[in-house]
Amino acid sequence: MEDNIQEMCERAQKAFEEVEYWPQEKVDEMVAAVGWEWQKEENVKAVAKLAVDEGEIGVYEDKLSKISNKVRGTMWDFRGVKTCGLVREDKKRGLKIYAKPFGVVANVVPCTNPEGTVCTIGLSLLKTRNAMICSPHPRTKQCSYLAVEIARKALEKVGAPVDLFQCVKNPSHAKTVELMGKCDFAMATGGDALIKVVYEAGTPAHTVGAGNVVSIVDETTALAAAANKIMRSKTANNSTSCSSENAVAIEESVYDEMMDALKAEGGYLCNSEEREKLRKAMWPDGKTLNRDIFGRPVAHIAGVAGIDIPEGTKFLMVIGEKIGPEDRFSGEKVSLVLTVWKWNDFNEMLDRLEKILDFSGIGHSASIHTKREDRMEALAIRAKVGRVECNMPHCLVNTGSWYNGQIWTESLGCGTWAGNMTSENINYRNFLNYTWLSVPVEEDIPTDEEVFGDYLKKWGKD
C-alpha cells in the first residue's frame, strides 16, 4: 500500500542498522555520492523548476543558485569532520568520546524550501549515519519526492541501502503526525503551529521559529551600498526565506537619504490609502496572511491589492505605525513588502526591536548596517536572536555563504525563546548522541586557593 508509514519506518530502521557501525571513510563516500548528484546541473534544474511550478512561489533562477550553493556549502562544512566512532580524546582526563546516530529521523519539509531542506538536512543526517523519511508539504510534494529519488539513486550507486532516504508520496496532517510518532527523532521546519504538532507527537525533535528580520541602518554606513544589499536580500526568491528583511529601521539624520537609496533600488513607498489596501489584501481576516501573497512577484501583490506601481518596482514599502497584532506590518510577511521605521536613539531602537521580536520572530535573526563595532556588539548582546548579520545582504548569508562564517543549512534554530532545542544553524552536530568513556587518572584535588582564589583574596575565609 502506498505511504504505509509503518512499513516505511521498518525499511528505514533496517537500512539504518546496516550503516550504524560503518567507518568514517565509507560514510563519507556515501555522503559524497549523494552530494554530487544533488549539485549536478541537470538535477538542480529539474528540482528548481518543479519547486517553482508546483509551489507557485519563489524565483527559478534564485532556486538554482540556492540549491547548488547549499549542497556544496554543506559538503564544505563536513571537511575533516569525524562523526563515526571515536571523535574526541582527552588523555589527561582519561576520556574518549564516541559519536552515535539517533536512528530514523522524520524530516518535515516546508513548501518555501521543498528542495533545500531535503538536501541540507539530508546530508547532515547521512553524515551522522541516520535514516531520513521526508514528509513534504502537500503543495510541493513532487519536488521533495524528486530530490529524495535523486539521492536514492546515488546511494544505490555506492552500495549503500537506498531506504536510508524515503519520502511520503501523498502527505497529510495525519500521516505527518503518525510518522513523527513512529520515528526516533523529528526535524520540523515551520512556524508556531507546526511546533505544537511536533511536540504533541511525543518524539524528541528539532524545530525552528518564524523570522522577522529588522535591518538597522545608522548614519555611519554607506547608504547606497546598504540599500543595494537590502534589495538583493529582500527580493531573493521573492522573499520566501524566513531570513529576508521584514523591516528596515533607519537613523533619523539619514532617513531621507536612505529612503531615496531604497527607492533607487526599486522600492515603492505606499501612501496611507495604498497601505490600507495592501493590509486588507495581505490579511483579509485581520490576522492570517493571504496564501496568494507570500512568495509572489511584486506586480502580482500590487494587483491583488489594487495598487498602481511604476515600472521597475521590485518591492513595496510601508511606514511602520504600531507594534503587535493591531499592525500586522510589524511582523513576518514572507513577501516583497518591507516595513520602514525611523529612530534617533540606538538604545531606544534596541528596546523597540525587543518589542517587535516579542510579537514576531523572537529567537531568529537581526541585521545591522554600521561601521560602529560597539553597535554591532550591543545588538548581539541585547537581541534575543540566534544570529546577527553585519553589513551584509541578510538572507543571502544567514544560512551560510562563501563570504561569511555561518554554518550552511536551511533550518534555523531559534532557541528556547521560540520553543526550540537549539539556537544554532541546524547541521550534523545536532543529530548525534555521544558516549563518554572514562578511565582512572592520577587524583588531583585542587586547593581552596585554586578554586576560590579571587574571592578569598577579597573577602577572606571567614
Q: What angle (nearest 5°) sits at the alpha carbon of residue 400, between those of residues 399 and 405? A: 125
pLDDT mean across residues, the chain: 96
Q: Are 165 and 38 in contact (CB under 8 A)?
A: no
Band of pLDDT at residue 196, cut at 50, 70 and 90: confident
Does residue 1 have a pLDDT over 60? no
- Which pLDDT score is estimated for 197? 83
Closest CA to 53 of 104, 111, 123, 134: 111
Express each pLDDT in 19-58 by its tens digit: 999 999 999 999 999 999 999 999 999 999 999 999 999 9
Does residue 403 have a pLDDT over 60? yes
CA dist 138 and 284 (Å) reads: 23
Does residue 198 have a pLDDT over 70? yes
Residues of 27-60 as b/e, b for ≥16 C-beta within 10 angstroms?
bbebbbbbbebbbeeebbebbbebbbebbebbbe
3-state secondary structure at position 246? strand
Phi, psi (degrees; rounded to nearest 5) at 394: -55, -55
Which three cell numbers, joined as nine digits, stand for 281?
489584501
- Which pLDDT score is estimated for 415? 96
Express each pLDDT in 274-308 by its tens digit: 999 999 999 999 999 999 999 999 999 999 999 99
Does residue 93 have a pLDDT over 70? yes
- Which pLDDT score is estimated for 193? 77
CA dist 98 and 34 (Å) reads: 25
Band of pLDDT at residue 262, cut at 50, 70 and 90: very high
CA dist 189 and 191 (Å) reads: 7
CA dist 431 and 194 (Å) reads: 20
Q: Which strand (E) or helix (H) includes residue 232? A: helix 223-235
Q: Which strand (E) or helix (H) includes residue 89? A: strand 85-90
Taking each helix axis as running N to C, give the angle between helix 116-127 and helix 60-77, from 0 to 180 degrees, rounded to the nearest 10: 10
- Domains of the chain from N-terminus onward: 5-208+424-437 (3.40.605.10), 213-403 (3.40.309.10)
Does residue 192 have a pLDDT over 80? no
CA dist 424 and 431 (Å) reads: 12
Closest CA to 252 of 211, 217, 290, 299: 217
Strand partners, 324: 327
CA dist 195 and 201 (Å) reads: 10
287-291: Cβ within 8 A, 24+ apart: 287/325, 287/328, 289/328, 289/333, 289/334, 289/335
3-state secondary structure at position 90? strand
Q: Which strand (E) or helix (H) includes residue 389? A: strand 385-390
Band of pLDDT at residue 191, cut at 50, 70 and 90: confident
CA dist 255 and 340 (Å) reads: 10
Express each pLDDT in 410-444 by its tens digit: 999 999 999 999 999 999 999 999 999 999 999 99
Catalytic residue flag (residue 242): yes
- Which pLDDT score is estimated for 195? 80
CA dist 143 and 171 (Å) reads: 13
Express each pLDDT in 314-369 by its tens digit: 999 999 999 999 999 999 999 999 999 999 999 999 999 999 999 999 999 999 99
The catalytically annotated residue of 84, 242, 390, 414 is: 242
CA distances from 52 to 47, 115, 214, 261 (A): 9, 11, 27, 31
3-state secondary structure at position 78? coil
- Which pLDDT score is estimated for 337? 98
Express each pLDDT in 101-124 by its tens digit: 999 999 999 999 999 999 999 999
Closest CA to 432 of 21, 99, 111: 99
Q: Considering the entire predicted model, what is its pTM? A: 0.95
* Residue 240 CB neighbour total at 10 angstroms: 25
